[in-house]
Amino acid sequence: MFPLNRREAIARLGGGFGAAALAALLADERARADAPPANPKPHHAPKARAVIQLFMHGGPSHVDLLDPKPELEKFDGKQPPVEVADDEKLTGNLLRSQFKFAKAGQSGTPFSEVLPGVAGHADDIAVIRSMFTEHRNHEQALWMMHTGLTVAGRPSLGAWAAYGLGSENRDLPAYVVLPDPRGLPVDGIRNWASGWLPPAYQGTQFRSEGQPVLNLHPKAARPADVEKGRTDLLAELNAAHRSARPGELELDARIASFELAGRMQLSATTALDLSKEPLKVQALYGLDNPVTRPYGLRCLMARRLVERGVRFVQVFMAGQPWDTHTNNAAQTRACAQQTDKPVAGLLSDLKRLGLLDRTLVTWGGEFGRTPGAQGKDGRDHHPYGFSVWLAGGGVKGGVVHGATDDFGYRAVTDRCKVADLHATMLHLLGLDHTKLVFAHHGRNERLTDVYEAKPIKPILA
């Protein structure tokens, strides 16, 4: 046998190196699957026990809703100054807002005239006017806002919260999603996916019309002892099936989902029986008005879910309604008419029940809209500066944080990246964003990933 040179030896052993690496990765996956997925305890004392995220798909116009710019009025129809010119040449002359702003509450925070309900809670709300993000396309901006990076396939914020804290009610999911019955939002179920976290942490969809969860109940009722016998037998079969296939995360998630569904038969139906709510509470959310009823139903459902221990609830609209490329003023007004009263009702109801102090409510989209006009009367996507707001659990109300320039083009003062917003939300839940990690492909992944993020302290109570 002839001696091998260095190159030949490496070539022949290459398959062995790959097999060894694969074995190590599989062993790592098996170890993680067999271990508890997370310690369901916060890293520090939480200010919020739950989150309701009111996500506004499409990108609401900050200069029409939360960030008044008198200079837009002054320079309406004119070319923007060089320092705030549209670098990508996608818009034309500046476009003033069609809406008036007024100071609200003791804090004097300005809100647009199309948000009278939200303005009534000015002293409960912290407005962040200096948000910025990294992409002007919907999908990439949505991935950034929901998962922390502009790439697909990562776990959503809600999945991270469920992974880190679990649910306070074993009969309901930790993470619930309330989509519009008229259609899914842009990017569909990826908005609430668990990515490479175990599948058990993805969002569970509840319906706001008809049965909240389909197929929870058998078509024909069975006696209690028969039902218990069936459930016990199924549990034994599941346990045997699982023990023969250790480390299969999809299987674990599927079995956990079936078991949760069994416990939800009573809990979900009771939690979402809105007929139990007094008529005056239903009216608070706008359920007596066909314009506000669809969004109001989901807001009321969100309150009832966090009231019962659900950790993270997202309320979505169909499609991308805030995407106002044409007729910006009319479309923005229409979106506000659908959502403003229900959102205000949610804040009022949480406060009435003593839940606002321990429930974090957030409002915002994936980016803002351009100060310059797209076409005659539209606004294009705008990632360089936009606004969001937070209220409730641990948030200092009546605060405006950060600023864009005089035309609302760029965030210039106390700039806040998306990772800072995520770090803030996790902090209020009692989670340290640097410690909430998951081993994946040889590195400890986290929501805020490579960013030097920090909680936004000026808005914290």
Residues 67 and 62: their CA atoms lie apart, in Å, by 5
pTM: predicted TM-score of the whole model, two decimal places: 0.84
Q: Tokens 């109570």 appear where?
A: 461
Q: Which pLDDT belongs to residue 24? A: 39
| Cα–Cα distance for residue pair 411/416, rounded to 1 Å | 8
Lowest mean pLDDT among 131-140, 152-161, 262-271: 262-271
207 compared with 131, residue with greater pLDDT: 131
The 3-state DSSP class for residue 93 equals: coil
Q: Which residues of 268-278 are buried (b: 16+ CB within 10 A; e: fewer)?
A: beebbebeebe
User: Would the pLDDT of 115 be above 50?
Assistant: yes
Residue 382 host element (H or E): strand 381-382
Rounded to the nearest 5°, which phi and psi values hold at 141? -65, -35
* pLDDT for res 84: 73
The residue-averaged pLDDT of 122-128 equals 98
Can you point out the beta strands (E) in 45-124? Answer: 50-55, 101-104, 109-112
- Over residues 143-171, mean pLDDT: 95
- Opening angle at CA 416, ends 185 and 395, nearest 5: 80
CB 421 within 8 A of CB 431: no
208-222, 376-390, 418-432: least confidently modelled range = 208-222
Q: How far apart are alpha carbons 431 and 187 in whole angstroms?
A: 27
State the chain's mean pLDDT as an integer. Answer: 87
Token duo for residue 176: 């619930």
The secondary structure element, H or E, covering residue 134 is none
Ramachandran sector of residue 392 (left: φ over 0; alpha: ψ -120 to 50; beta: rest): left
- Residues in CB range of 125: below 8 A, 6 or more apart: 109, 118, 389, 390, 391, 395, 397, 398, 399
Cα–Cα distance list, 327 to 62, 243, 285, 378, 384 (Å):
16, 59, 28, 5, 22
| Residue the block writes with tokens 């998306």 | 418
The mean per-residue pLDDT over the stretch 85-99 comes to 82
Q: Residue 340 carries which side chain, given as an amino acid letter?
A: D
Mean pLDDT, rounded, for 227-235? 67
Alpha helices (runs of H) in 151-209, residue ranges in sequence order: 157-165
Q: DSSP assignment, residue 154?
A: P
Nearest C-alpha neighbor of 158 from the set 315, 321, 343, 320: 315
